[in-house]
Amino acid sequence: MNNKLIIGSAFMLLIGSESVLASQGDVGVGVKAGTLGAGVEVMFGISDDLALRGGLNYITFDFDSTLSGVDYTMEPEFKNVTMLLDWHPFSGTFRLTGGFSLNDNKVNVDGVFDRELIPSEYNQYAYLTDRVHLQGSVDFNTFAPYAGIGWTSSHGDSGWGISCDFGVLFQGAAAVSDLTVVGDVDSRFQGEVNDFLDEQKKEIQDELDKYEYYPVASIMLHYNF
């Protein structure tokens, strides 16, 4: 999903929520930080025990990982538009939350390894450079269901408050959409190179499968009108 689609989806979510606001009258805004990054939310009361939230989140970071002798730098970049429904089963501060996220979540991968680390069966194309360089990207599902629990200090009250969320975003298994050798490869060895890339794709997907069930934890400062 591209940036324009994410922004457009956010507007659609908020416009749809505003129709709820017109009939109910409760609204809040907040800023948050957590495992989905920095974000903003707009909250609308539906009833004493139900509230609708729409938000935007963004985070980017990087980490290093070595897979079968290849040294990778992996750079996740997560962009999310969320639509969540809160239910306060005891009409208090505790809440159960369900909903979904529209994702533009990806991981850019950049890997290098020295000639001496190249598996022997691929030595025939190692003459190309002292260090073989790989680049690629990893994607997740655009539509990701969410389930969690939370707490808000000011449910039903106006003024400033603090909220927190704990849950899981079910964004599907990592899928390597592209992985290539940077530079020219002698066409005589293209088959062997493709086999090597297929092996690396599986290694990368296995490494990033931990993001299939992405843990969500956040804290938010909000104001209810």
* Cα distance between residue 127 and residue 125, in whole Å: 5
- Classify residue 42 by burial, with Cβ atoms within 10 Å: 0-12, 13-18, 19+: buried
Calpha distance 73→109 (Å, rounded): 6
CA 4 – CA 216 distance, rounded (Å): 25
Instruction: List per-residue pLDDT tens for the chain, 225 residues long.
Output: 555 555 455 545 544 544 444 344 488 999 999 999 999 999 988 888 899 999 999 999 999 988 877 888 999 999 999 999 999 998 888 999 999 999 999 999 998 876 555 555 555 554 455 566 788 899 999 999 999 999 998 776 788 999 999 999 999 998 888 888 776 555 566 677 778 788 888 889 888 888 899 999 999 999 988
State how far the Cα of 104 lies from the Cα of 101, in Å rounded to an integer.
10
* Phi, psi torsion values for 213, nearest 5 degrees: -110, 90
Among residues 152, 180, 172, 29, which one has the least CA distance to residue 86? Answer: 152
CATH code linked to domain 3-224: 2.40.160.170
Identity at 153, one-letter amino acid code: S
Report the alpha-carbon distance of residue 106 to residue 125 in Å, rounded: 30
Helix (H) or strand (E) holding 164: strand 159-170
